[in-house]
Structure 1
Amino acid sequence: VHIIPLTLPTTVQVLPKRGMRMTYATVLRVLKKRRKLAGPERLRHRSEWDNWNYKAELFAFAKRLNEPVSEETLRTAFTHKSYIIHEENRRKQLGLSTEDIEVKLNDNSALALKGTEIMSSFIKAFIRHSYPDLPEEGVAVLHDYLMTDDTLSHISTNIGTKDLILCAEFPVENPTLATVFKALVGAIATDMNQKQAETFVLDFVLTQLVGKDVFDIWEIPNPLATLDALLKKHGRTPAESRLVFESGRNTIQAIYKVAVYSDKEFLGQGPGESVA
């Protein structure tokens, strides 16, 4: 009997099995069912997560804006007065001593007031420079539009302030977001100078007018009376309207073009569907 020795390969190659186990889809279905039964996850503040580092977040925020504001000033700008009141009341309920109840933080009221003054004066000056023929009523309307809580809270949210604000309410409301943005302008003016704060306002606030028509923001209730008041202010006669073109009278596609003159000088023209 001739015995043939068995030779084994020196290396064994193990090929992985592609695809997922058959039980994996079942596990996913069970997890989805449990998630549905538990309901949506509770809305939580960013600080409740384990990897939260407030000091690092303040440092990163200043670097993102490229504004060398100190950490102490940033803490003040992000601390709303409601947070201090809420924290002191919470400590009183815990029965702490009088010394421990006081929260050693400064709120952003002073910085917000300073930022409001800088923003208001610079916005008006910029609008007057950019629209030299715009009456003061229009300047006031554009100024009020840019200073509203909706506009400033939109800017504040998009530069990443929502997770850094210390306040009593959650989610953070629009007035609080707007106040924090004003405080940031005041913080830049405090740690640097007013010129840098005005540049910050130019970059983030006045750019909200890009792509917008003035008359989409300023709805004039009586345009002709406003025009007459403006002409009177410049020592000119009231405006006169004249029909300069018409087409399709007594049809559903009628069009009329009316021109406005003052002292026999052409001011402008516009189309309409009726003469009235």
Structure 2
Amino acid sequence: MSVMLQQLRIWSQPSLMCKRLQKCRLPCTFNIQMHSGQALKEKAKSVIVGNKHLQQAPELKYTPPIWKHQWLLLLKRKAEIEGPEEPRRRSDQLNWNYSAELHAFVHRLGIHVHAEALKAALTEPMPVDLENEGGVSNEAGNNVEMANTGEVFTRDFITLFVKYAFPELGKECANSIVSYLMSETLLSYLAKNLGFGDLIQSQFFPLTTTSLTRAFFAVNTAILQNPDGKIAAARFLYDFVIINLNNKDIVHDIWKPQDPMKHLKLELKIRGLPPPEVRLTKKAGITSVLPVVFVGLFCEQNLLAESGGETVIKAESDAAKLALKTIYDVHFNRCLPKKDLFLDPFFLDKINSLNLNYQTEHLQLN
């Protein structure tokens, strides 16, 4: 029979109380587990007085039987002999419904897109005989032309956003940000973790990074076919692509200039300022195995940046990077613009004015 839990509320007695309870004579509550046909256990599981936990007995640990331990060892040995299991398509496994997966995919990403457009965006060119039962027909189209359109819009929007969010940024640094956000490594990683891999109808499996990136661009094109397509596609890119700039040091992690002092001199020349002066400000442990020197960069008697390093060259390079961060206003703790930028009429007009270099007839779906 099942375990019955009874709460016995008794007045404390000398044999059941500690010395503190003997003085105050407070009532205490015992939580006792009872089995039918058995006597009360020797010790109560817990003793609670008011809201204070006084005592708790150790929990019983489950010990698996001997046969189960041997069985697990055999399974482990079997897996070592046979090797890792080959990856299988999700559509080849049980409980697969392509239409239901597309419906869940749209709501998971928070986008509004036509079902036929989404199927075409997730379908790569492939022979009809290779299509599986759970897939879609190749007659619905493929995502080659749609991917080209999505790539153009994605690049234009990211470039516009970088100019809007970082107005003081240099041209070379801005181009490095666009290249980072448009990289196949980042976009394929996003597509894989957003569930594109289970929905893409492709001849090859596992999917390549090119297939995942192409599908990501094509889905963006499918969003563009809505009445407010450009704004919706821009929100989609902001939520999943632009947000990757958070917790990134733009100068050190993304741009990575080989000669930061050269770029610093160029930026100061553009602003009509003289070249920076390098001065040694601090040093310690020069004769030890761990020396450290601090170098300051001055411009017209004003300190631009100061940094330390093992050598003067390293300290000067790091100080130049810090000075570039100050000029570009891209410090590590600088946050991206909030999402209310889509309420800015100027920014919305710039998005709507983006020109898409594609032919409209390629996007028409029957």
Q: Which amino acid aligns with 1:258?
A: V
| CA–CA distance in structure 1, aligned partners of residues 89 and 75 of structure 2 | 25
How far does the alpha carbon of each residue in 1:5-32 deviate from its partner, in whole angstroms, 9 at most, with x for none?
xxxxxxxxxxxxxx99998888777777
Is 1:48 the counterpart of 2:84 in the alignment? no
For structure 2, the 5+ residue unaligned runs are 1-62, 132-136, 314-366
* 1:41 Cα offset (Å): 3.4
1:210 matched residue in structure 2? 246
Amino acid at match of 1:205: V
Q: Structure 1 residues 24 and 134 mapped into 2: Cα distance closer, same or farther (>3 Å)?
A: closer
- The structure 2 residue matched to 1:181, chosen from 216, 228, 231, is 216
2:122 corresponds to which residue? 78
Partners of 2:64 and 2:297 in 1: how far apart?
Answer: 76
Q: How does 1:62-211 map to 2 (within 5 A)?
A: 62-81=106-125, 84=126, 87-88=127-128, 103-191=138-226, 192-211=228-247
Pair 1:219 & 2:256 matched: yes
Post-superposition shift, 1:263?
3.4
Q: What SS class does the counterpart of residue 259 from structure 1 fall into?
A: strand
Q: Partners in 1 of 2:296 and 2:68 — Cα distance? A: 75
CA distance in 1, matches of 2:163, 2:73: 63
Offset of 1:274 from its aligned partner? 2.1
**Shift in Å at residue 264 of structure 1?**
3.3
CA distance in 2, matches of 1:21, 1:262: 77
**Secondary structure in 2 aligned to 1:241?**
strand
Question: Which structure: greater strand fraction?
Answer: 2
Identity %: 32
Structure 1 CA distance for aligned equivalents of residues 201 and 215 of structure 2: 10
Point out the more displaced range, 231-240 or 71-80.
231-240
TM-score with structure 2 length normalisation?
Answer: 0.60
Q: CA RMSD in A?
A: 2.9
Higher RCO (Cα < 8 Å, 6 or more apart): 1
Secondary structure of the corresponding residue to residue 104 of structure 1: helix
Aligned length: 245
Query: 1:57-96: per-residue Cα shift (whole Å, max 9, x none)?
Result: 1111111112121110110110123xx3xx15769xxxxx
Q: Tell me what 2:38 maps to.
A: none
TM-score normalised by structure 1 residue count = 0.78
**Residue in 1 aligned with 2:292?**
255
Where in structure 1 are there 5+ consecutive unaligned residues?
Answer: 1-18, 92-101
